Amino acid sequence: MGAKNVCLMTDKNLSQLPPVQMVMDSLVKNGINFKVYDNVRVEPTDRSFMEAIEFVKKGAFDAYVAVGGGSTMDTCKAANLYASSPHSDFLDYVNAPIGKGKPVSVPLKPLIAVPTTSGTGSETTGVAIFDYEHLKVKTGIASRAIKPTLGLIDPLHTLHMPDRVVANSGFDVLCHALESYTALPYHMRSPCPSNPITRPAYQGSNPISDIWAVHALRIVAKYLKRAVRNPDDLEARSNMHLASAFAGIGFGNAGVHLCHGMSYPISGLVKTYKAKDYNVDHPLVPHGLSVVLTSPAVFTFTAQMSPERHLETAEILGAHTRTARIADAGPILADTLRKFLYDLDVDDGLAAIGYSKADIPALVKGTLPQERVTKLAPRPQSEEDLSALFEASMKLY
């Protein structure tokens, strides 16, 4: 790439761990100048994005290396974008209706993504997600232009994840695969954009994404429990790391729908819950956990639109579906997911992470702006539907 001045981006926790050390050793050995930015926030906010953007604008970098989970990779994508478009206002590229959702027409610098979790698949996608603090809701930037140039998927980088981080990031892979496989089919998405540059990054389920999603789901079914239970199981951790990238290639083109749309207020409105195994100084519902807690309710709701696909995914996850009635696809997949989550010691629904019935209106209000993903659900949903889905997710078992 001929880079002379590189920004290495990571978070405070990872900056002390071997993956970052390996990257620094490699840069030093090859005589490449670099500066480290290790102030990435786990579950980034607009403010934490802007701090990173300020840093990179001053640095005049000609390439970026992001070493970390989705938070680091997403922060780095945003920093690269706004440093390459220095006169843009922050909201210019943020998804509508919160931002202006302008298409990106400037060239960006090369970005090498080195994932250390097996979850977001952010090394493969043109999406960067953050909490917009003013509205207490997650939103993001979505454009093919911010996709990393290169992803380095090395399973040895995942051996430092504690078991809850493995579980929660694995749930993100699970939902990426399930949601992209059951998303609105690409030929049913409307209206058709007048110009190709305004085509969304998320196209709806399509025959190519389907292959990646189903393959990722098979790996999750086989290896996630092993990866959580035994940190030294290199085969399981390696396969989950690949599944994360596979699901990323799938949903990065097809998109996700309701589990993700509803997850953004669940993490954005967090009160005091602090997830086990996360080394942070603020309340935190990890993204993968916020996504998976609504999955039994969501897939019960969407099953009537493509019951065969819902049954097929239930079977991959271990359900016996040979004698199942097609009308029972939703409940069968929901029960299969509940058992899967129960086996992995997941909190018993939204109530267990601090929410109650009284919070449902705020959770619904936080889901409504997520049109980029909610419109990809195979079944349209009213505010009453969303309320019922949150209510059904208060308790899982």
Strands, DSSP E only, in 28-162? 33-40, 63-68, 111-115, 127-132, 137-142, 150-151
pLDDT for res 38: 98
Domain ranges in the chain? Answer: 5-156, 162-393
What is the third-level CATH fold of 5-156? Rossmann fold (3.40.50)
The tokens describing 319, both together, are 């359900």
> Rg (Cα) of the chain, in Å, rounded?
20
CA 383, distance to chain mean position in Å, is 24
Rounded CA gap, 21 and 374, in Å? 40
What is the third-level CATH fold of 162-393? Dehydroquinate synthase-like, alpha domain (1.20.1090)
Residue 285 in 3-state DSSP?
A: coil
The tokens describing 189, both together, are 């998405």
Print pLDDT tens along the chain (397 aa). 999 999 999 999 999 999 999 999 999 999 999 999 999 999 999 999 999 999 999 999 999 999 999 999 999 999 999 999 999 999 999 998 899 999 999 999 999 999 999 999 999 999 999 999 998 888 999 999 999 999 999 999 999 899 999 999 999 999 999 999 999 999 999 888 888 888 888 999 999 999 999 999 999 999 999 999 998 999 999 999 999 999 999 999 999 999 999 999 999 999 999 999 998 899 999 999 999 999 999 999 999 999 999 999 999 999 999 999 999 999 999 999 999 999 999 999 999 999 999 999 999 999 999 988 999 999 999 999 999 999 999 999 9
Contacts of 217 by beta carbon, 8 Å cutoff, 6+ apart: 174, 177, 178, 181, 247, 313, 316, 317
Rounded CA gap, 93 and 116, in Å? 27
Contacts of 148-151 spanning 24+ positions with Cβ under 8 A:
148/66, 148/73, 148/77, 148/111, 148/112, 148/113, 148/122, 148/123, 148/124, 149/1, 149/110, 149/111, 149/112, 150/110, 150/111, 150/112, 150/113, 151/112, 151/113, 151/114, 151/115, 151/123, 151/124, 151/245
